[in-house]
Amino acid sequence: MGVSVADLSIEEQVGQTMMISFEGTEVPARITDLVKRYCLGGIIYYKSNCAGGVEQVAQLSTTLQQQAARNRHRIPLVIAADQEGGRVQRIVFNDIPSQRSVGNMQNPQKTYAIARLLGERLRTAGILMNCAPVADVAELSSFLGDRTYSQDAYEVAQHVGAANEGYCAAGLITVMKHFPGHGGTIFDSHVGVFHVQKSYDELMARDLVPFVTHLDKIPAIMMAHVVYDSFDTNHIATISPYIIQEFLRKQLKYQGVVITDSLTMQGILQKTGTLAEAAILALQAGCDILLFGKEILENGTIQCPDPETFVAIHQSIVSAVRDGRITKERLREAVERILGMKTQYCGL
């Protein structure tokens, strides 16, 4: 590894944990400043970033990586997108079906081929991480609906494995989501806090099957903003030290990167109050990458936070490390995983 955690200041280590968003096809000056000054770790794209198709996105990605190369360690960005297929696509490809449509084909080789094709297109656009596959086991009546491969846990596991192989063959970092499984609730964590009241045995027999089957093969896992009463009645999974550190890390022995779902969602903000507190609690609990996507404003508008918001969040996390709320060991552990992933997938 060309860069180690010891080479980075606290400010730069915190920067590496942050994956942020912005509006439009041009990089705002303040985002450029964040990328260079704080050694920012990643960017997640939305449709407004991808309006011009693959060639335009490729140019945007090149510009961002050129800016990252100007930080003092030349650490590349992880550029990510939610590109599941069907209705969840940032670059719209009409020939990429939803995961449920793929699952209905009952042909894992086809699942692999579609994932590899999509992965190759994303790599051409400079996207290095796909926040997919969705490993939740859910009925079509769930808010996830056709974003899931099946309502049968073992079928989901089969397709998740095939999709992961396809994405990895194309050189993408895959993110299996949403751990420990959204399938137990019909409600959307974008808009509120919800509980899954299944027992541990019920979760292990259904919702957790796709995750447990592929933990040793998946580079990254995204947490769910849901309370799982049989694990931790007080915290959503994203900020639960028990679920992340005791269950996922120690019991299930997962070694990869843990990423939050967007910290701008009401499913976490109703628990934490502010974005900065959400970020601090998530990092403290064991998450490695803190994802800041679009937020829903009181008037119903959906947009990315202002770049100045990210500056304030960065400062709050740095203060939490210096004050001891987040231990330096916990921060170091997160950054070591991120740098390891970048070495393997991003040319660090």
- Output the domain CATH number for residue 257: 3.20.20.300
Nearest to 219 by CA among 83, 344, 59: 344
pLDDT in tens, 128-170: 999 999 999 987 767 788 999 999 999 999 999 999 999 999 9
Question: How many angstroms separate the CA atoms of 42 and 27, rounded?
Answer: 13
Q: CA dist 285 to 143, 240, 279, 331, Å?
A: 27, 6, 10, 11
Question: How many angstroms separate the CA atoms of 242 and 232, rounded?
Answer: 7
Domain-located, residue 12:
no
Question: How many angstroms separate the CA atoms of 189 and 267, rounded?
Answer: 5
So what's the pLDDT on residue 138?
85
Confidence category of residue 112, pLDDT binned at 50, 70, 90? very high
Confidence category of residue 266, pLDDT binned at 50, 70, 90? confident
pLDDT in tens, 204-249: 999 999 999 999 999 999 999 999 999 999 999 999 999 999 999 9
Domain-located, residue 306:
yes
Task: Please say whether the beta carbons of 71 and 122 come within 8 A.
Answer: no
So what's the pLDDT on residue 35?
94
Q: At what angle do helices 10-17 and 307-323 cross, to 10 degrees?
A: 120
Q: State the residue range of the domain holding 182.
A: 21-345
More confident call, 262 vs 295: 262
Q: What is the mean pLDDT of residues 108-134?
A: 98
So what's the pLDDT on residue 189?
53
- Name residue 296's beta-bridge partners: 302
Question: How many angstroms separate the CA atoms of 157 and 211, rounded?
Answer: 7
Domain-located, residue 7:
no
Domain-located, residue 6:
no
pLDDT in tens, 174-186: 999 999 998 666 5
pLDDT in tens, 315-329: 999 999 999 999 999
Q: What is the mean pLDDT of the chain?
A: 93
So what's the pLDDT on residue 301?
84
Q: What is the pTM of this model?
A: 0.96
So what's the pLDDT on residue 188?
52
More confident call, 169 vs 266: 169
Domain-located, residue 212:
yes
| DSSP string for residues in 228-255 | ETTT-SSSBGGG-HIIIIIIIIIIS---
Would you please indicate which residues are annotated as catalytic (active-site) residues? 190, 261
**Burial group, residue 186, by CB count within 10 angstroms (0-12, 13-18, 19+):** middle
pLDDT in tens, 286-296: 999 999 999 87
Which residue is associated with the tokens 């393997």? 344
Is 194's pLDDT higher than 90? no
Q: How many separate domains does the chain show?
A: 1
pLDDT in tens, 32-58: 999 999 999 999 999 999 999 999 999
So what's the pLDDT on residue 299?
77
Q: What is the mean pLDDT of residues 174-202?
A: 79
Domain-located, residue 14:
no
Confidence category of residue 192, pLDDT binned at 50, 70, 90? low
Question: How many angstroms separate the CA atoms of 304 and 52, rounded?
Answer: 19
Domain-located, residue 192:
yes
Domain-located, residue 198:
yes
So what's the pLDDT on residue 191?
59
Q: What is the mean pLDDT of residues 291-313?
A: 89
Which residue is associated with the tokens 């998946």? 218
pLDDT in tens, 74-107: 999 999 999 999 999 999 999 999 999 999 999 9
Residue ranges in 44-177 assigned as alpha helix (H): 53-68, 99-104, 108-124, 153-169
Write the CB contacts of 329 (distance below 8 Å, at least 6 apart in sequence): none
